[in-house]
Structure 1
Amino acid sequence: MRASTKLIWTVSVLMLAAMSEAIFPLPFLPFLPGFNNGFNNGVKAAKPQPVAGGARKGGKRRGGGVEAKTNWPGQWEIFMKSSGVSAMHAILMPVINKVQFYDATIWRISAIKLPPGVPCHVVDAKTNKIDCWAHSVLIDVNTGATKPLSLTTDTWCSSGGLTKNGTLVSTGGYNGGANTARYLAACENCNWVEYPQALAAKRWYSTQATLPDGSFIVVGGRDALNYEYIPMEGQNNKKLYDSLLLRQTDDPEENNLYPFVWLNTDGNLFVFANNRSILLSPKTNKVIKEFPQLPGGTRNYPGSGSSALLPIRLYVVNPKVIPAEVLICGGSKQDSYYRAGKKVFEPALQDCARMRINSARPRWKKEMMPTPRIMSDTVLLPNGDVLLVNGAKRGCSGWGYGKDPAFSPLLYKPRAARGQRFKELAATTIPRMYHSTAIALPDGKVLVAGSNTNDGYKYNVEYPTELRVEKFSPPYLDPALANLRPKIVANGTPKQIRYGQNFKVKVNLNQQGVTKQNLKVTMLAPPFTTHSISMNMRLLLLGVSAVTPAGAGTFEIQTLAPPNGNIAPPGYYLIFAVYQGVPSTGEWIQVV
Structure 2
Amino acid sequence: MAVLHRALFLVLFVAPLLFLHGSAHKPGGGKKKEHKVVGVVRDRQRQAKSLLKSATVVVNGNKQKQEKRPAAVTGGNKQDNNVVVIQQNPGAVNKPHTVIVVSNTAKPAGYKPSQKDPDVTNPYAGLTPDKNFKPFKTVIPNKPPPTQQEEEATQKEINQQTTTAANAAIMERDFETKFKGDWKVHADAFVSAMQLQLLPNNKAIMSDTTSFGPSKIELPKPHPANCREVVQRAVDKQHPPINSTDCWAHAVEYDIDTAQSRPLKVLTDQWCSCGGLSPKGYLVSTGGWEEGYRAVRHMGTCPTCDFEEKPGALASNRWYATQVIMEDGNFIIVGGRDTFNYEFVPAVEMNFQTRQFDLPLLRETNDFGSENNLYPFVYLVPDGNVYIFANSRSILLEPNTGKVLREYPVLPGGSRNYPASGMSVLLPVDLRKGGPNVDAEVLICGGGDPAGWGKADREKIFLPALKDCGRMTITRPDAKWEIDQMPSERVMGDMIHLPNLDVLILSGAKKGVSGWQNADEPNMVPVLYSPYKKLGERFKELEPGYIPRMYHSSSTLIPDGKVLVAGSNTNPTYTFTEDVRFKTETIVEKFWPPYLESNLRQYRPSVHEGGTEKILKYGQQFRIKVKLVPEIGISQTNVKVVLYAPPFTTHGYSMNQRMIVLNTLKITDANIQAVAPPSGKIAPPGYYILWAVHRGLPSSGIWVQIGA
TM-score in same-fold range (> 0.5): yes
Assess if the C-alpha contact under 8 Å between 1:98 and 1:141 holds in 2.
yes
Q: Distance in 2 between matches of 1:269 and 1:58?
A: 43
Deviation at 1:57, TM superposition (A): 5.0
Is 1:52–2:149 an aligned residue pair? no
Q: Which residue of 1 aligns with 2:649?
A: 529
Deviation at 1:116, TM superposition (A): 2.2
| One-letter amino acid matched to 1:218 | I
Is 1:115–2:220 an aligned residue pair? yes
Deviation at 1:109, TM superposition (A): 2.0
Q: Which residue of 2 aligns with 1:91?
A: 197
Q: How does 1:293-308 map to 2 (within 5 A)?
A: 293-308=410-425
Q: Distance in 1 between matches of 2:159 and 2:513?
A: 39
More relative contact order, 1 or 2 (CA 8 Å, 6+ apart): 1
Q: 1:57 to 1:298 in 2, by over 3 A?
A: farther
Q: Which residue of 2 aligns with 1:335?
A: 451
Which residue, 366, 369, 374 being the options, matches 2:486?
A: 369
Assess if the C-alpha contact under 8 Å between 1:171 and 1:179 holds in 2.
yes
Assess if the C-alpha contact under 8 Å between 2:345 and 2:354 holds in 1.
no
Assess if the C-alpha contact under 8 Å between 1:134 and 1:148 holds in 2.
yes
Which residue, 69, 72, 75 being the options, matches 2:179?
A: 72
Is 1:545–2:665 an aligned residue pair? yes
Structure 1 unaligned blocks of 5 or more: 1-49, 550-554
TM-score (norm 2): 0.73
Q: Distance in 2 between matches of 1:496 and 1:320?
A: 24
Deviation at 1:429, TM superposition (A): 1.1
Assess if the C-alpha contact under 8 Å between 1:220 and 1:226 holds in 2.
yes
Could you give the per-residue CA deviations for residues 453-499 of structure 1, whole angstroms, max 9, x where no partner exists? 00010123110001111100000000111112111011111110000
Q: Distance in 1 between matches of 2:601 and 2:425?
A: 28
Q: Which residue of 2 aligns with 1:589?
A: 704
Q: Which residue of 2 aligns with 1:565?
A: 680
Alignment partner of 2:266: what SS? coil
Q: Which residue of 1 aligns with 2:614?
A: 495
Deviation at 1:239, TM superposition (A): 3.5
Deviation at 1:515, TM superposition (A): 2.0
Could you give the per-residue CA deviations for residues 132-165 of structure 1, whole angstroms, max 9, x where no partner exists? 0001101110110110010000000000001100
Which protein has the larger Cα radius of gyration, Structure 1 or Structure 2? 2
| One-letter amino acid matched to 1:486 | P
Q: Which residue of 2 aligns with 1:9?
A: none
Deviation at 1:107, TM superposition (A): 2.7
Deviation at 1:285, TM superposition (A): 1.8
Q: Which residue of 2 aligns with 1:408?
A: 525
Alignment partner of 1:68: what SS? coil
Is 1:478–2:597 an aligned residue pair? yes
Which residue, 469, 488, 509 being the options, matches 1:392?
A: 509
Q: Distance in 1 between matches of 2:209 and 2:260?
A: 22
Q: Distance in 2 between matches of 1:340 and 1:211?
A: 37
Q: Distance in 2 between matches of 1:418 and 1:142?
A: 38
Q: Which residue of 2 aligns with 1:450?
A: 567
Assess if the C-alpha contact under 8 Å between 2:470 and 2:483 holds in 1.
yes
Deviation at 1:55, TM superposition (A): 4.4
Could you give the per-residue CA deviations for residues 62-119 of structure 1, whole angstroms, max 9, x where no partner exists? 9x94201101000000001x2111111001111x101110000123421110122471
Q: Distance in 2 between matches of 1:112 and 1:54?
A: 48
Could you give the per-residue CA deviations for residues 563-584 of structure 1, whole angstroms, max 9, x where no partner exists? 0000000000000000000101
Alignment partner of 1:307: what SS? strand
Deviation at 1:56, TM superposition (A): 7.2
Q: 1:405 to 1:184 in 2, by over 3 A?
A: same
Q: Which residue of 2 aligns with 1:41?
A: none
Q: 1:301 to 1:287 in 2, by over 3 A?
A: same
Deviation at 1:383, TM superposition (A): 1.2
Could you give the per-residue CA deviations for residues 330-363 of structure 1, whole angstroms, max 9, x where no partner exists? 0001100011121211111000110000011000
Which residue, 569, 583, 595 being the options, matches 1:464?
A: 583
Alignment partner of 2:174: what SS? strand
Could you give the per-residue CA deviations for residues 434-460 of structure 1, whole angstroms, max 9, x where no partner exists? 001010010000011111000010123
Q: How does 1:143-154 map to 2 (within 5 A)?
A: 143-154=258-269
Q: 1:335 to 1:57 in 2, by over 3 A?
A: farther
Q: 1:441 to 1:421 in 2, by over 3 A?
A: same
Q: Which residue of 2 aligns with 1:22?
A: none
Alignment partner of 1:246: what SS? helix
Alignment partner of 1:339: what SS? helix
| One-letter amino acid matched to 1:245 | L
| One-letter amino acid matched to 1:105 | T
Which residue, 164, 185, 206 being the options, matches 2:279?
A: 164
Alignment partner of 2:211: what SS? helix
Q: Distance in 2 between matches of 1:486 and 1:479?
A: 14
Could you give the per-residue CA deviations for residues 384-422 of structure 1, whole angstroms, max 9, x where no partner exists? 110000000011101111111100100000001111110
Q: Which residue of 1 aligns with 2:436?
A: 320
Is 1:510–2:616 an aligned residue pair? no
Which residue, 96, 104, 109 being the options, matches 2:209?
A: 104
Q: Distance in 2 between matches of 1:219 and 1:189?
A: 32
| One-letter amino acid matched to 1:346 | L
Q: Distance in 2 between matches of 1:572 and 1:399?
A: 35
Moved more, 67-76 or 500-509: 500-509
Q: Distance in 2 between matches of 1:399 and 1:127?
A: 26
Q: Which residue of 1 aligns with 2:26?
A: none
Q: How does 1:272-311 map to 2 (within 5 A)?
A: 272-311=389-428
Q: 1:437 to 1:58 in 2, by over 3 A?
A: farther
Assess if the C-alpha contact under 8 Å between 1:58 and 1:67 holds in 2.
no
| One-letter amino acid matched to 2:300 | A
Deviation at 1:51, TM superposition (A): 6.5
Could you give the per-residue CA deviations for residues 164-195 of structure 1, whole angstroms, max 9, x where no partner exists? 00010000000111100000112222111000
Which residue, 225, 244, 248 being the options, matches 2:360?
A: 244
CA RMSD of aligned residues (A): 1.8
Alignment partner of 1:69: what SS? coil
Assess if the C-alpha contact under 8 Å between 2:172 and 2:635 holds in 1.
no
Q: Which residue of 2 aligns with 1:33?
A: none
Alignment partner of 2:253: what SS? strand
Q: Which residue of 2 aligns with 1:212?
A: 327
| One-letter amino acid matched to 2:363 | R
Identity %: 47
Q: Distance in 1 between matches of 2:630 and 2:179?
A: 22
Moved more, 466-475 or 112-121: 112-121
Q: Distance in 2 between matches of 1:53 and 1:360?
A: 48
Assess if the C-alpha contact under 8 Å between 1:55 and 1:72 holds in 2.
no
Q: 1:139 to 1:347 in 2, by over 3 A?
A: same
Structure 2 unaligned blocks of 5 or more: 1-152, 233-240
Which residue, 232, 235, 239 being the options, matches 2:351?
A: 235
Is 1:133–2:238 an aligned residue pair? no
